[in-house]
Structure 1
Amino acid sequence: MAPRPDIEIHCLDQQKDDLGVNESIGPAHSTVALIEGESEQDPWDLPELLDTGEKWSELNTKAKILRVVTSVGKIILLVGFLYMFVCSLDILSSAFQLVGGKVAGDIFQENEVLSNPLAGLVIGMLVTLLVQSSSTSSSIVVMLKLWQVQTAVPIIMGTNIGTSITNTIVAMTQAGDRSMFRRAFAGATVHDFFNWLSVLVLLPLEVATGYMYRFTELLIKAFDIRSGNAPALLKVITDPLTHSIIELDKTVISGIATGDPEVKNKSLIKIWCKTFTNTTLMNVTVPGVENCTSPSFCWTDGEFTWTLKNISQTINIKKCSHIFVDTNLSDMVVGLILLASSLLVLCLCLILIVKLLNSMLKGQVALVIKKIINTDFPFPFGWVTGYIAIIVGAGMTFVVQSSSVFTSAITPLVGFGIISIERAYPLSLGSNIGTTTTAILAAMASPSETLGSSLQIALVHLVFNMSGIILWYPIPFMRFPIQLAKALGNKTAKYRWFAVVYILAFFFIIPFLVFGLSVAGWPVLAGIGVPIIVLITFVTVVNVLQCHCPQWLLPCLRTWDFLPLCAHSLKPWDHVISVITAHVCCCCKCCKISEENKEKENKKDQPHEMNSVVILKSEAKTETK
């Protein structure tokens, strides 16, 4: 059976529709400093960067000095904005911990719920969203000594997903330009899709076989690991500023997670930065003999039972110097203040960084950077380039000690067309490895009693990311995250509101739904989840066959036209959102116009009142005359 030509045209038109191409107008292009060439065939081709500036040889001495001074000034400003960006991320993490840190600790305390792998996955993800730090979530997991490491594996997978939301939000800052937003959002979400696909494959495999737990357990037993110190690196630079604003006592969250009653009502805000703990052996009274330290250190004197017990007394030596050290505000209020201010600084820094990069990455500089980053090694060693990018991403993440910072830094470059999606993908994979090496070194600084479990959890994180890379990178056909990110980029470029829907759905609505179903029990989860998964799989397969092999489908399934338009297209929803937006803007405009009219009427009434007064006065004068 030959394929129907109308179906092929439908697929082609649908692709054009997804790409935002209008045959009469043409694709949207960036008109900022980066000049894009025409790419009607493939919008994912990197834009042609034209050297529009004057050549160095054509400048006089004064112009050369001015260009050097301007370039140095821009570099200094860029470094300063990057520093403020990193510090604002740190403050944002502290703010989220103040707002939701105790809730996160209470969640981790529910051991019965976390024994469900899906619930553990979702909780790891949601807690990472709350505290905005996968390392904090991992440290909480390490502190729960009553847990088996095998129970913590799904939580580690969840923290891997939760930490990827930052660069997705960063991509929203380039929503003003359609072409830049297409590339930036795809460059950010390629990291998301890698994490989601890895979890979909590796979580069932881990539940069935426990290979990650068993493999890391063999590694711990095979190597004689001793406790060490984790490197500070970027923290040495950022801590002076962030610690002058806020310092947190992170042992409070860990204490809540372990069920310590003494820290239940304790504030997360650190007051004393330098303390001394003095432990002395003292005689204390206990309710009964069973509460004695040991039978040999227990005696009865009349109605009292005495025993020898070590009593620890903490002596405060030096107070912290941050601005909230003497505040009377609650943790929630301080957290909301820091949340609003850090988000403001974060967005401002991102906008200024994008503006600076836009002015700096043009001309010969942009051409050189683009050529260096995107050029492959000559045949037959072209395949080596991607693995070198993975190593570079891991090294850079290890230096900055945050995968969010690194991936957020390369997202604007992807939007500008300096880095391709195909090159940003291995850089993000390397970032995933880099953040696990930092966690391994941090785990080696753990106390001896928790060293084995904390190091094994860090190694589980590493094995999980390595397994995902083996699945989704070496074979070019299996690089599904790139294809999915491009499809989402096309959709969000045309319907930009869909980017907000994606973030809310994948990072909040779906996780909460899965968590609720998993808490309800396996029968409820299977009864509702399995039909949904079967439906999604069916729709995906039919969509692929409609565009590639329509002759394999039944005639009624070769298009989705038999369904209502709102069930297979975003155009009706786009119309609804446009109408709502127009009404909101109209209401605001009408309110503004009505206020202006009232002011004008008041101004008009005032002269009339004055005239009436003048008339009355004149009449009074004539009467007196």
Structure 2
Amino acid sequence: MPDQDPLVEDSKLTDSQCSSGPSLFAIEYRIVAELFIKLKYTITMIHDTNIDYEKVTTPNLDPRPSAVYSDCNLKNDAEVDEDEDSYKKMTLTQKIVWGIFYGFASLAALYFFMVAVKLIGDGFTLALGCNTKGAFDFADNPVAGLMIGTIATALLHSSGTVTSIVVALVGSGGMTIRQGVYVIMGANIGTCITCIMVAFGQVGDRARFQRAMAAATVHDMYNLWSVFVLFPIEVLFHPLEELSIAMSNASASSGAFDSPVDAIVKPLAQELVVVDKDSIYDVATGDLECIDGQSFVTAGVFEGSSMGDGSIGAIVVIIGFCILVCSLLTLVKMLAKVFMGPTKRLISKLLNYNGYINILVGTLITFVVHSSTVVTSTLTPLAGLGVITLEQVYPLVIGANLGTTGTALLAALVTGKSDSVAIALVHFWFNVFGIMLFYPIPITRKPILNWARSLAFASAAWPMTAVLFLMALFLVAPGTLLGLVYMCTADSSAVEVIGWIIGTIVVAALVALIFWYKKKGGRDVWHGFLEKKNEEREAQAAREAENNHTQSNLLHETV
């Protein structure tokens, strides 16, 4: 029989005490004693209970499918994976050997990914060729400049290339600083396309794809919100232009800093094609005039080819996309093997220290490698694998955005021209103001993170959502706005009137769509559609799993 608690013994009144009826002191003593016993029992239970605080989550009270999800609520979490089980069964020697192998395989896949990105950029640069200057001729209108920057960067897969061209144009007088400001803003949006393409490397696993898409689109949402806020302010008051001009009087004379990524990637990429970018920049600035039949291919497989630069550029782009797809699939597979066990936990803890430190890390890494695309595209599959969370990705991404401004700054410093330095500073201050607007105060991060999560949920339920988003952001919207700008500023009055009528119809249609979605049940229709697609996808996955299980059993019986 367990020992009696002394408080219980003391709290029992003797017969003599009860004979005269319970005194007020005795009643109070008994009440206090019973409360103390209950408190002691509760504390003991809490002390003896092991709570896994990582599994304690805040209930999601919003029943809508697009509500902000918690990474730990995903059914097919990467943490619960067959790879983890097989990893735990390995010996220490096997873990080391396979870890080294998968590590080198991941680096090789990342290398070919960077080669693919360079080939795609070189291909589109070559295809533009003599039309490079013409591509920026519409930039005299703020909206047109924004759209040109978006489209050009999306095609070239390099905001650094676009900003360098803008720096050269401004330095030569081919573009004003005010025109360059809006192209720089558009370049920040256009650079996001690669991350979304990377996320499709995990489309086969719904949970991973959802996390990867959230990490990829947080880059888009940050840049879009920065443009939403800063673009109208710049059009009205020109703070970026004025601040950059005021600071550009600082003398600039510095040597160029070669990107280590370019130094590693160039040897293999140049085996296929070498593009004379210096001459293309000269064409853009008006220092060089194109002649019929001129080729900007200086070396590689296509040197001396009878094909035109446009055809060669198209072939190079196709080859680049093929390499991109293969390298992405391999990279995702290898990273899933590398980041298991203690490695995964270590990375998560390191990045969970401080958000401002993560901004600095993202800035420094991007400045060193001279490519925000490489940094952000590496973060996307890591987020998909559950190695890092969306909250950890966000500061790294905005840090990478800030770090990529170093490319334009160095290009401007080499020219030594104040206008070039000013437009490079525009790029820098745009990203600084973006960070100040959407990071220090936690509530300002919500629209960015929530939009990214909602789009990720919809994409995971129906992958075509991501495709439609890509087309809308980088094709439909820029093309429509460019067309409207051209028509509304045309010399012909008839064309101008038609342009304004079409513009009015487009705006009215957008307002009607938003009203229908918010007030007329459009939200429920969309969410119901997503739920249906999600159920269809889960049913298909269940059928495939059952078929695989059946085939495995048949094979086992045959053996």
Q: Is TM-score (shorter-chain normalized) higher than 0.5?
A: yes
Matched, 1:202 2:230: yes
1:519 is matched with which residue: 471, 474, 486? 486
Matched, 1:269 2:296: yes
Q: CA deviation at 1:336?
A: 2.2
Residues 534 and 338 (structure 1), Cα distance of their counterparts in 2 relative to 1, 3 Å cut? same
Segment drifting more, 534-543 vs 520-529: 534-543
Residues 336 and 542 (structure 1), Cα distance of their counterparts in 2 relative to 1, 3 Å cut? closer
CA contact (8 A) 1:397 1:434 kept: yes
Q: CA deviation at 1:245?
A: 2.2
CA contact (8 A) 2:379 2:393 kept: yes
1:11-50 superposed matches below 5 A: 12-13=62-63, 15-16=64-65, 29-30=75-76, 34-35=79-80
Residues 54 and 232 (structure 1), Cα distance of their counterparts in 2 relative to 1, 3 Å cut? closer
Counterpart amino acid of 1:345?
I
Q: CA deviation at 1:130?
A: 2.5
Partner of 1:501: 468
Q: CA deviation at 1:402?
A: 0.7
Matched, 1:249 2:273: no
Residues 360 and 254 (structure 1), Cα distance of their counterparts in 2 relative to 1, 3 Å cut? closer
**What RMSD, in angstroms, separates the aligned Cα atoms of the two structures?**
3.3
1:351-370 superposed matches below 5 A: 351-370=329-348
Considering fraction of residues, name the structure with more helix: 2
Q: CA deviation at 1:261?
A: 6.9
2:307 match: secondary structure? coil
Q: How many pairs align?
A: 464
CA contact (8 A) 1:270 1:325 kept: yes
CA contact (8 A) 1:182 1:492 kept: yes
2:413 is matched with which residue: 418, 438, 444? 444
1:159 is matched with which residue: 173, 184, 187? 187
Counterpart amino acid of 2:357?
I
1:461 is matched with which residue: 418, 427, 432? 427
Residues 160 and 101 (structure 1), Cα distance of their counterparts in 2 relative to 1, 3 Å cut? farther
For residues 318 and 513 of structure 2, what CA distance do their matches in structure 1 show? 41
For residues 202 and 573 of structure 1, what CA distance do their matches in structure 2 show? 36
CA contact (8 A) 1:19 1:491 kept: no
Counterpart amino acid of 2:259?
A
Segment drifting more, 227-236 vs 125-134: 227-236
For residues 133 and 389 of structure 1, what CA distance do their matches in structure 2 show? 23
For residues 396 and 459 of structure 1, what CA distance do their matches in structure 2 show? 20
1:482 match: secondary structure? helix
Residues 170 and 161 (structure 1), Cα distance of their counterparts in 2 relative to 1, 3 Å cut? same
The alignment-based identity, stated in percent, is 32
For residues 533 and 473 of structure 1, what CA distance do their matches in structure 2 show? 31
1:131-280 superposed matches below 5 A: 131-144=156-169, 145-146=172-173, 147-221=175-249, 223-259=250-286, 262-265=289-292, 267-271=294-298
Residues 232 and 494 (structure 1), Cα distance of their counterparts in 2 relative to 1, 3 Å cut? closer
Partner of 1:327: 305
Question: Which deviations, in whole Å up to 9, do the C-alpha atoms of 1:525-573 show, x marking residues without a partner?
Answer: 7766577668757876997xx7xxxxxxxxxx4xx24x7986x557299
Partner of 2:550: none
1:478 is matched with which residue: 410, 424, 444? 444
CA contact (8 A) 2:375 2:400 kept: yes
Q: TM-score, normalised by structure 1?
A: 0.68
- Give ranges in structure 1 of 5+ residues lacking alignment: 1-10, 38-48, 272-319, 377-384, 547-556, 583-625
CA contact (8 A) 1:18 1:491 kept: no
Q: CA deviation at 1:264?
A: 4.2
Residues 348 and 126 (structure 1), Cα distance of their counterparts in 2 relative to 1, 3 Å cut? same
1:445 match: secondary structure? helix
1:490 is matched with which residue: 457, 461, 476? 457
2:87 match: secondary structure? coil
2:370 is matched with which residue: 391, 401, 405? 401
Q: TM-score, normalised by structure 2?
A: 0.75
1:444 match: secondary structure? helix
Residues 399 and 80 (structure 1), Cα distance of their counterparts in 2 relative to 1, 3 Å cut? same
1:376-455 superposed matches below 5 A: 376=353, 385-446=354-415, 448=416, 451-455=417-421
For residues 393 and 460 of structure 2, what CA distance do their matches in structure 1 show? 19
CA contact (8 A) 1:233 1:399 kept: yes
CA contact (8 A) 2:65 2:531 kept: no
1:99 is matched with which residue: 110, 118, 127? 127
CA contact (8 A) 2:167 2:424 kept: no
2:529 is matched with which residue: 566, 571, 577? 571
Counterpart amino acid of 1:390?
I
- Give ranges in structure 2 of 5+ residues lacking alignment: 1-60, 490-495, 541-559
Segment drifting more, 239-248 vs 503-512: 239-248
Residues 537 and 353 (structure 1), Cα distance of their counterparts in 2 relative to 1, 3 Å cut? same
